Structure 1
Amino acid sequence: MSDITGTRAIAAQPQETKAKLVQMPGFGVGTKPTIAISIATGAALIGIWWLVSKLGLVSHLFLPRPDEVLTQVGVVYRDGYAGASLSEHIVASLFRIVVAATIAIAVGIPVGLLMGLSRWAKGVLDTPIEFYWPLPPLSYLPLMIIWLGIGETSKITLLVLAMFAPICLSAQAGVRSLPLERVNAARSLGASRLQLFFSIVLPSALPEILTGVRIAFGIGWGTLVAAELIASTRGIGFMIMSASQFLATDVVFVGIGIIAICAFTFTAAIRILETVLVPWKGKL
């Protein structure tokens, strides 16, 4: 009888409630993809463009319809423009931007890392970089022509100068944002200077460096039109400026669209590189 009573007492006790997991609220953009929003925004902008041009709110001379721009793409692809085919214009611009980016990255990253590690290097190099960095490239374009002539050297040098500063300053910022605890922990484990640099300093600065490279490419594409003003006969920037002189607005839109596609491709490639090299970015 006592056993039955004890069993009933145990059964009467409330069951233990399981712990509930509480999900912390997100902050900022979060982890959900935004590609659908971006596509919808792009479609809305194209729709507004078509509506404005169709209703004649802006003169057709200044704002052609999107379908007319697409038609002009086929015309330029088939017949070329200004004595060169479309592929020749694209290859000329890609050659300049890729060569300039290679030089700017090869020089800017080591210089930026050195400025972040050495007080003397920062003191010597910071002043000239900060002096010319805010200047628009068009301001020292005449100097490039005077010093280097009107060949490819002056164009590529102008692009290198425009792309060098953001890469260098980003590399410096990446080193200076390195937590001192990581350095002291590596030293306590007996890491040499070389091991400290390649295992701690460089990986910690890499997210900032890749961000600087992405910004530099944006500035480089923006400077490309100015660089191709220097006695060019090939290039997307040259095609845009030549078309603007004859009020060929549809060709101008074609050139702008090509630059936008190329710039987007380079940016997407760098973002993919970020996911491979620094998968921890934004998660720590």
Structure 2
Amino acid sequence: MMMRNSVRYVFIFFLFFILWQIGSAALKNPILPPPTAVFCNLKEVFFSKIAIHAALSVYRIVAGLVISVLIGSILGLLMGFYDSIDRFFSPVIYFTYPIPKIALLPIVMILFGLGEVSKITMIIIITVFQIIITARDTVKNIPKETFYSLKSLGASDVTVFREIILPAAMPELLTAIRLSAGTAVSVLFFTENFGTTYGIGYFIMDAWMRVNYVDMYSGILVLGGIGLLIFLAVDAFDMIFCRWKR
């Protein structure tokens, strides 16, 4: 399975860069440099120019996602299992979820400054709702008879969570994390253009402003690589915690 997935990834990347090379040759415009030039540039400047930006971006994404997953999964599972908690939090979530979270960026920057906290906070605010709603709805879709049979044997709520709710909710939670990871990368790119001189989003936009398209595409490739690594990490967690699916 792993070998087949690796071959598929290599084939897709190879096809993508072949199309990129054809497009660059057909356009003959500096705005779309050939992939060979971008790869050579990436090899030359990664450690000297891009690595620090990529490292800070990874830190912001991972920190935001970890906090979002902890808050969202715990709250969502409790809302799904306990009706009283659901009745209390659901109106708040239904009211705040439709608000465009990116519009809160000025408020977040006023409250938390222009540093790391504001960027991580924005990732949390935007991604946590997907995880809460997914976790809550997954628990509510578990047949109640499953709980009753275990409770009738004297099981505590902790046992019910450990033996039924967590295994049943884990696949859907991992799907929500995948969706949130893509959202987090997009949010990070936007927030890194405000109040910072470090981050892969800043590097890409700075290269664009300097009309250095080779650097710009190098940053875009690194950003895509960060997203790919996060998705592969979630897939690894899927293989570890959801072995029963296979």
For normalisation by structure 1, the TM-score amounts to 0.78
Q: Is the 8 A contact 1:155 1:230 kept in 2?
A: no
1:218 correspondence with 2:189: no
The alpha-carbon distance between structure 1 residues 270 and 225, as it changes in their structure 2 partners (threshold 3 A), is same
In 2, the alpha carbon distance for the partners of 1:192 and 1:140 equals 41
**Structure 1 counterpart of 2:222, one-letter code:** I
**Which residue of structure 2 aligns with residue 204 of structure 1?**
168
1:254 correspondence with 2:218: yes
Name the larger-Rg structure.
1
1:66 correspondence with 2:35: yes
State the shift of 1:35 in Å: 5.2
1:76 correspondence with 2:45: yes
Q: Which has the higher helix share?
A: 2
SS of residue matched to 1:280 = helix
SS of residue matched to 1:124 = helix
The alpha-carbon distance between structure 1 residues 244 and 131, as it changes in their structure 2 partners (threshold 3 A), is farther
**Which residue of structure 2 aligns with residue 169 of structure 1?**
133
Q: Kindly report structure 1 stretches of 4+ aligned residues shifted beyond 6 Å.
A: none
In 2, the alpha carbon distance for the partners of 1:37 and 1:110 equals 36
The runs of 5 or more residues in structure 2 that have no matched partner are: none
In 1, the alpha carbon distance for the partners of 2:94 and 2:186 equals 20
Please say which of residues 123-132 and 148-157 is displaced more in the overlay.
123-132
State the shift of 1:67 in Å: 0.5
**Which residue of structure 1 aligns with residue 193 of structure 2?**
229
**Which residue of structure 2 aligns with residue 279 of structure 1?**
243
State the shift of 1:136 in Å: 4.4
**Which residue of structure 2 aligns with residue 191 of structure 1?**
155
The alpha-carbon distance between structure 1 residues 138 and 241, as it changes in their structure 2 partners (threshold 3 A), is farther
**Which residue of structure 1 aligns with residue 17 of structure 2?**
46
State the shift of 1:256 in Å: 1.5
1:40-83 C-alpha deviation (Å, 9 max, x unpaired): 33322211110111122xx5222111011112212322542xxx
Question: Percent identity over the alignment?
Answer: 28
Select 2:123's aligned residue among 159, 168, 179: 159
Q: Cα RMSD (Å) of the superposition?
A: 2.2
Q: Is the 8 A contact 1:101 1:160 kept in 2?
A: yes
1:123-160 C-alpha deviation (Å, 9 max, x unpaired): 33223333443444432212222222212221111111
State the shift of 1:161 in Å: 0.9
**Which residue of structure 2 aligns with residue 22 of structure 1?**
none
The alpha-carbon distance between structure 1 residues 176 and 259, as it changes in their structure 2 partners (threshold 3 A), is same
The runs of 5 or more residues in structure 1 that have no matched partner are: 1-32, 81-85
1:80-129 C-alpha deviation (Å, 9 max, x unpaired): 2xxxxx22112211221122122112211111112112223223322333
The alpha-carbon distance between structure 1 residues 135 and 257, as it changes in their structure 2 partners (threshold 3 A), is farther
Aligned residues: 244
Q: Is the 8 A contact 1:178 1:205 kept in 2?
A: no
State the shift of 1:34 in Å: 5.7
1:213-247 C-alpha deviation (Å, 9 max, x unpaired): 22211111111111212211111111011112222
In 2, the alpha carbon distance for the partners of 1:132 and 1:218 equals 21
State the shift of 1:36 in Å: 4.2
1:3-40 C-alpha deviation (Å, 9 max, x unpaired): xxxxxxxxxxxxxxxxxxxxxxxxxxxxxx56545543
Q: Is the 8 A contact 1:173 1:208 kept in 2?
A: no
In 1, the alpha carbon distance for the partners of 2:108 and 2:118 equals 5
Structure with higher RCO (Cα < 8 A, 6+ apart)? 2
1:117 correspondence with 2:81: yes
